[in-house]
Structure 1
Amino acid sequence: MAAAISTAANSLSTLLRQTTIDDHEEVLKAANATLKKTKADIEAQHVKVVALLNLERYEDVLRVFEEGGDRLKEKAKLEYAYALYRAGHQVEAVKIAEAVDAGRGMKHVLAQAAYRKENFEQAAEIYRQLSGKQAAVEDEENDLRINSGAVDAQLEWVGLGHLAQTKKPAREDMEAFETAYNAACGSLSRGELGQGEILLKRAKDLCNALEDLTEVEKKAELLPIIVQQVYVLIQLGKVDEAEELCTNIPFAEIRELSTRHIAQVNSLSASKVHTNPYLSHRLFHSTPKRDKTDQHFKFQSNILHQDEYIIDLLSQKYAGVANSTATYISKRPSPTVSPDVNSVAVLNAAAHAHNTIGKTALKEIIPLLEKRPNDVGLLLTIAHLYILTNNHAAAVNLLETFFKRLEQSATPSDLDVRFAPGLIGILVSLYALQGRKSQRKSELAKAASYWRHKSKNPPKALMRAAGAALLESQNPDDLAGAGEIFAALYQQDRSDRAAVAGLVAAYAITDPSKLNSELVGSLPPVQRLAANINTAALEDAGVAVPPTVPVLGSKKRSAAEKAKPVKMKRIRKSHMPKDFDPNRRMDPERWLPMRDRSYYRPKGRKGKQKLAGLTQGGAVSEEKEKAVSEPKAGGGGGGAAKKKKGKGKGGKW
């Protein structure tokens, strides 16, 4: 039996060596012919695996490996891992690739499988290792640049941009449409929409200029770029351009169903025609079902699920959305700062409120908080509705109560939510709106202290805000705390100008001896900062008075409003006197009696005496003062003399 297997293997090897077969179908036929004679021929099985991989028949490859058993899997580990990766079995592919200390080929498979598994950190590290060594095959360096750019963009999308290898597109990225497209995606993930639009146009031009691609191949490569362009135009507010671009997209020709579905959703967002929500609902679900090898990434799926719920709400499917979102929320931990969970909680509240806002919505949503007191998305929705109804105090009280409850929890994850930078920012903004500076400073200081002890890399934005708030205080302890915060930020990143400026400001007050030349010298010189300032214009403009924070609900007019000229009321002709002259200014005191007007001057001695007597707070003559201070005699308890009775019985009528 062993001799027969050896003979079959030698015959197949001899056949392949003596022929120049370029057609993988012919190689597959030769391997199948050998396996008909000897099913256990491992060489023939290996040849069949390679032929099927070249024909992109990955499920058939996996069946061959199952038939070949452990011997074939051990002999062709690279092919087995690659087949698992292409068939959508990412977890198994990563497991096999990690267990083998193989060469660059296996590392490429591991990086690609980790990428599809959404372990972008691992993929970035592997590509960094491969880029540090000399390329083994032709065009490998170009492939590494393309794949590394895709990983960097994904890191930005999932909030791990600090791990990205490149932040700005290099000159080499402008030489191929693949690298230009990845650079555009990286810019979009960082919110640089204008730069992303430019790079997408560059990618289209590079693709159109290729001569080694057929028109059909060019079209297949251009369609995903155009779909991304539609997204950018919508985000930039150029809806008309986006709608026009969508009219030229042949959706049925987009090979990847995941991309086709995104294109269909973006076309609905850009269209002014599909105002009927029921028609939009039908078009949204018109894309064929995708298989496991063509799935969206998690951040894409979350947005698409939200879009689906929104279309259902517009179609008045309130009960269905309320039930499905409630099921989704109940299966996730609470409280959480996960964007997808909290976004679904907002949609759940909208379903219960039937898309209403204001006090009507609050009446329906507040009872839900009793059932889900730790639902951050629901809590923020209620707080937002309070703000819309100008009830800022209720919004502050809601957040403060929630924070106190989390502080009493012994679960570390609850404290992470309690001091989440986003939630702290909302409460601090409300404090600032109410003019509560001490509470604002205290809240930022507590959050900064928590994250400094919790993490080696605390959130920079929160730390800067806390340090700046403590610098405004006159308390030495607060100033010392600001110095510690900015010192920690400076140690993390010595190029952080905000940290340097804060540290200099803190040391200048608390301990000037720590201000060394390196620290002060890293600040930009005053001459450069003031180079574009026109001091003469500032002096001519006068001293600017900072506006005071208005008290909520106050209707007091500002100085600018007071300075505005008051429009004169138009007087009807029927109310005008016959001799009325419109060019003559009317007396503003014309409604007062003559003696009460400011310009009244009586004539004669008697008139002047009368005026002096009427003047409030004026001098009083001695006779009048004496008459007031000396009461008349004869007054008893009644205080006045009795009147004489008149004649007759009843007295004087």
Structure 2
Amino acid sequence: MAAQSLSSLLQRATIDDHEEVLQSCNAALAKSKSDLHAQHIKAVALLKLDRYEDCLRVFEEAGDGLKKRAALEYAYALYKCGQLDPAIEVVSRVAGERGALHLEAQASYRSEKFRRAAEIYEELSKGDVSLSNEENDLRINSWATDAQLQWKGYPQFVRHNRPMRDDLEAFETVYNAACLSIAKGEFQQGQVLLTRAKELCRTSEDLTPEDRAAELLPIAVQQLYVLLRQGKSEEAQSVLEEISVSDIPELSTKKIAQTNITLARGTTTTNPFALYKALHEIPDSTDSDKLFEYQDNLATGNSYAADLLVQKYDGIIRSTSKALAQAAYPSTEPRANLLSVYNAAAHARGETGTKALKRILSALDKRPKDLGLALTAVQLYVGAGNTTSAITTLERTLQLLDESISEQDKAVRFNPGLLSILVSLYKLEGRKVQIRTELAKAATYWQAQAAEPPASLLRAAGASLLHSSDRSDLAKAGDLFKSLYQKDTTDQFAVAGYVASQATLDYSKVEAQVDTLPSVADLISGVNIASLENAGISPSSAANAAAAAAMAGARKRSAKDKEDRATKRVRKDRLPKDYDPSKTPDPERWLPLRDRSSYRPKGRKGKQRAAERTQGGVVNEKAEESPAPPTQKAQGGGGGGGSSKKNKKKGKR
């Protein structure tokens, strides 16, 4: 009866006051706590009132029946409470609803699963737009997702390039397009788009004055960042006056604004303690309003950099060590390695060069698989011009990972980014064989994994193996290029590599592919041969490294110094006074005196010494007497007895 009375009441009345709806639901539930219909309406009313935690509590108390009936509302409550992964899991089971896809895309965006969010928006844009203002929302959100993909390091999945006419009509779309340009490093284009977004927002008739002021604040914060990156300090000061940090409701935006304002005011160079205070004024954001990972890493780096400037070394070591103890070890995650770098800087205690390196190496001995510490030591070695020690340090860490039986350690060992550092170091010393060996091992590992192997690594491995004269290496290169071609039949690099690898092994296999390659004439049609001849041959990286090492620390005199320098007097040859050029010099004059044929030692004559050694000769009785034991010389300052003064030998002066 309670459900029927509530349903009939809602059908007959139009209630815009959600508090009144909530009161009616509570009255119905007081009579019947298991009224599923009333529970559903109560959950919707709480969502309308932005009471998301209370709404989530209703779902938990009601049980699985309400969660299945109102799965979309339940997923939305989870999303607003910051429980993103459970929200995605729930909403992904709701089939056939565009609203559910929108919610899944939003939750994926906030959980930084940008590729999935982009796929959903692409799917929604291809379907029939049925919701009001949905087309505009799709345009805004797809631009925002592309900007995050660019920031995250996935430019190959970005769908937008330049904004079209329709994209320049709403300030939200223009703002997101500006963010994409900033992520690409196109600050001039970003500044133009931010200026347009600000003007569109100011002249918008759909916004109240309060909403307009709230929307202008993040635009100004982003504009301040762009001006700082361009070095336009005067324009940055004018934008600085438009920003009131206290008026920004979101903690994440407030923290970014505070950082940019601090940098714009030049606090970093004047007073490090003021910088430390300014960066720690804004509290960390909550789960429902937190920075993205790349933003949080930058904020963490700024905070630790300020700690280093005020010499809080022990505090940095404690906090980073505690965080590293809870993180995966070893790890290629940016945050974990960032903490390792600042941990190493704190151990160095403001020292640089060899002194810092000694302390960092001692910390590396305790955590030998810590990539952040290892790469910090490598960087210091490279900065000092000691590439060999840098290679040895990195190889030692990789060897420990190689000997491990953990799958996680193996994945870290053959991480493409880590291998690129090692290959770059090898190139500095011209170690082509080691480069080929490392890339071949990495390609073998990734081909055996279930996940898709990184194409860039397979390309590098295949190109390196082509320089080998071993037939097995050429066959391996052919397999790599063949797998690349099977994934992308338009990949001309893969076709050329496959032809090059098989041409000397079995030309009949690649005879058909040769015709698909561009001719040599087409490849060199745009090359200016005259300019190449005039430019000369560029030295290799190994030659550059050797020249840099030879010139390191050398002081070169200027041409003026050479002219002003006094001419050195040539010394005349000095000859002995009794030198006679007509006589032949002694050929043994360069030998030591004892080694010359004319040498005669001083002492007894030869016959007398021979007689003494002859058996049956006259015995010298005095010589047969046993000599008195020698008197030991006293050490230290004891008083001496009466030895005769004339028996003493005078010391050398």
TM score, norm. by length of structure 1: 0.76
Q: Output the CA distance in 1 between the equivalents of 2:233 and 2:524.
A: 40
- Residues 438-466 of structure 1, C-alpha deviation per residue, up to 9 Å, x if partnerless? 22332233223332333663223333333
Per mean C-alpha deviation after superposition, the further-off stretch among 26-35 and 520-529 is 26-35
Equivalent position of 2:355 in the other structure? 360
Residue identity opposite 2:419 in structure 1: I
For residues 217-366 of structure 1, what are the structure 2 equivalents within 5 Å? 217-236=211-230, 238=232, 241-242=235-236, 244-274=238-268, 275-288=270-283, 290-366=285-361
Q: Is the 8 A contact 1:504 1:515 kept in 2?
A: yes
Q: Output the CA distance in 2 between the equivalents of 1:331 and 1:267.
A: 33
Equivalent position of 1:468 in the other structure? 463
1:449/1:304 Cα in 2 relative to 1: closer, same or farther (>3 Å)?
same
For residues 161-180 of structure 1, what are the structure 2 equivalents within 5 Å? 161-162=155-156, 164=157, 166-169=159-162, 171=164, 172-180=166-174
Equivalent position of 1:115 in the other structure? 109
Residue identity opposite 2:159 in structure 1: T
Tell me how far 1:334 sits from its aligned partner. 1.7
For residues 137-148 of structure 1, what are the structure 2 equivalents within 5 Å? 137-148=131-142
Equivalent position of 1:213 in the other structure? 207
1:269/1:177 Cα in 2 relative to 1: closer, same or farther (>3 Å)?
same
Q: Output the CA distance in 1 between the equivalents of 2:300 and 2:183.
A: 20
1:555/1:298 Cα in 2 relative to 1: closer, same or farther (>3 Å)?
closer
Tell me how far 1:24 sits from its aligned partner. 4.8
Residue aligned with 1:549, SS: helix
Residue identity opposite 1:166 in structure 2: R
For residue 492 of structure 1, the aligned residue among 487, 496, 500 is 487
Equivalent position of 2:612 in the other structure? none
- Residues 386-429 of structure 1, C-alpha deviation per residue, up to 9 Å, x if partnerless? 22233222222222222222222222221222222222222222
Equivalent position of 2:4 in the other structure? 6
Q: Output the CA distance in 1 between the equivalents of 2:407 and 2:10.
A: 64
- Residues 77-130 of structure 1, C-alpha deviation per residue, up to 9 Å, x if partnerless? 433332332233334433432444462223333332333333444434443443
Q: Output the CA distance in 1 between the equivalents of 2:460 and 2:337.
A: 25
Equivalent position of 1:181 in the other structure? 175
1:36/1:330 Cα in 2 relative to 1: closer, same or farther (>3 Å)?
closer
Q: Output the CA distance in 2 between the equivalents of 1:156 and 1:80.
A: 32
Q: Output the CA distance in 2 between the equivalents of 1:239 and 1:441.
A: 48
Tell me how far 1:260 sits from its aligned partner. 0.9
Q: Is the 8 A contact 2:258 2:278 kept in 1?
A: yes
Tell me how far 1:469 sits from its aligned partner. 2.8
For residues 2-41 of structure 1, what are the structure 2 equivalents within 5 Å? 2=1, 6-7=4-5, 9-16=7-14, 22=16, 24=18
Equivalent position of 1:89 in the other structure? 83
Q: Is the 8 A contact 1:12 1:31 kept in 2?
A: no
Tell me how far 1:224 sits from its aligned partner. 1.9
1:329/1:40 Cα in 2 relative to 1: closer, same or farther (>3 Å)?
closer
Q: Is the 8 A contact 1:240 1:270 kept in 2?
A: no
Residue identity opposite 2:137 in structure 1: D
Tell me how far 1:208 sits from its aligned partner. 3.7
- Residues 280-315 of structure 1, C-alpha deviation per residue, up to 9 Å, x if partnerless? 222222225644421223333233222222221222
Tell me how far 1:37 sits from its aligned partner. 8.4
1:505/1:210 Cα in 2 relative to 1: closer, same or farther (>3 Å)?
farther
Residue identity opposite 1:223 in structure 2: L
Q: Is the 8 A contact 1:9 1:41 kept in 2?
A: no
1:387/1:516 Cα in 2 relative to 1: closer, same or farther (>3 Å)?
same
Q: Is the 8 A contact 2:466 2:473 kept in 1?
A: yes
Structure 2 residues not aligned, in runs of 5+: 574-580, 588-595, 599-653
Residue identity opposite 1:367 in structure 2: S
For residues 537-552 of structure 1, what are the structure 2 equivalents within 5 Å? 541=534, 544=537, 546=539, 549=543, 552=546
Residue identity opposite 1:90 in structure 2: L
- Residue 40 of structure 2 is aligned to residue 54 of structure 1: no
- Residue 418 of structure 2 is aligned to residue 423 of structure 1: yes
- Residues 475-511 of structure 1, C-alpha deviation per residue, up to 9 Å, x if partnerless? 4444443333333333333344443444444455555
Q: Output the CA distance in 2 between the equivalents of 1:515 and 1:231.
A: 54
Q: Output the CA distance in 2 between the equivalents of 1:341 and 1:243.
A: 35
Residue identity opposite 1:185 in structure 2: C
Structure 1 residues not aligned, in runs of 5+: 576-587, 595-613, 615-623, 629-636, 640-653
Residue identity opposite 2:111 in structure 1: K
Tell me how far 1:348 sits from its aligned partner. 0.4
Q: Output the CA distance in 2 between the equivalents of 1:376 and 1:137.
A: 50
Equivalent position of 1:370 in the other structure? 365
Tell me how far 1:361 sits from its aligned partner. 0.8
Equivalent position of 2:377 in the other structure? 382
Q: Is the 8 A contact 2:3 2:37 kept in 1?
A: no
Identity %: 44
Residue aligned with 2:198, SS: helix
Per mean C-alpha deviation after superposition, the further-off stretch among 168-177 and 299-308 is 168-177
Residue identity opposite 1:376 in structure 2: L
Residue aligned with 2:410, SS: helix
Q: Output the CA distance in 2 between the equivalents of 1:494 and 1:565.
A: 61
1:343/1:292 Cα in 2 relative to 1: closer, same or farther (>3 Å)?
closer
TM score, norm. by length of structure 2: 0.76
Tell me how far 1:349 sits from its aligned partner. 0.8
Q: Is the 8 A contact 2:143 2:160 kept in 1?
A: no
Q: Output the CA distance in 1 between the equivalents of 2:38 and 2:51.
A: 17
Residue identity opposite 2:245 in structure 1: F
1:463/1:566 Cα in 2 relative to 1: closer, same or farther (>3 Å)?
farther
Q: Is the 8 A contact 1:464 1:486 kept in 2?
A: yes
Tell me how far 1:347 sits from its aligned partner. 0.4
Q: Output the CA distance in 2 between the equivalents of 1:152 and 1:475.
A: 45
- Note the aligned Cα RMSD (angstroms): 4.1
Residue identity opposite 1:416 in structure 2: A
Q: Is the 8 A contact 2:118 2:146 kept in 1?
A: yes
Q: Output the CA distance in 1 between the equivalents of 2:538 and 2:284.
A: 64
Equivalent position of 1:149 in the other structure? 143
1:571/1:438 Cα in 2 relative to 1: closer, same or farther (>3 Å)?
closer
Tell me how far 1:358 sits from its aligned partner. 0.8
For residue 523 of structure 1, the aligned residue among 518, 524, 533 is 518
Equivalent position of 2:626 in the other structure? none
Residue identity opposite 1:15 in structure 2: A
- Residues 355-384 of structure 1, C-alpha deviation per residue, up to 9 Å, x if partnerless? 221111122222212211111111111122
Q: Output the CA distance in 2 between the equivalents of 1:516 and 1:184.
A: 49
Q: Is the 8 A contact 1:53 1:83 kept in 2?
A: yes
- Residues 206-246 of structure 1, C-alpha deviation per residue, up to 9 Å, x if partnerless? 43443322343233223223323333444455566545533
- Residue 430 of structure 2 is aligned to residue 439 of structure 1: no
Q: Output the CA distance in 2 between the equivalents of 1:92 and 1:440.
A: 45
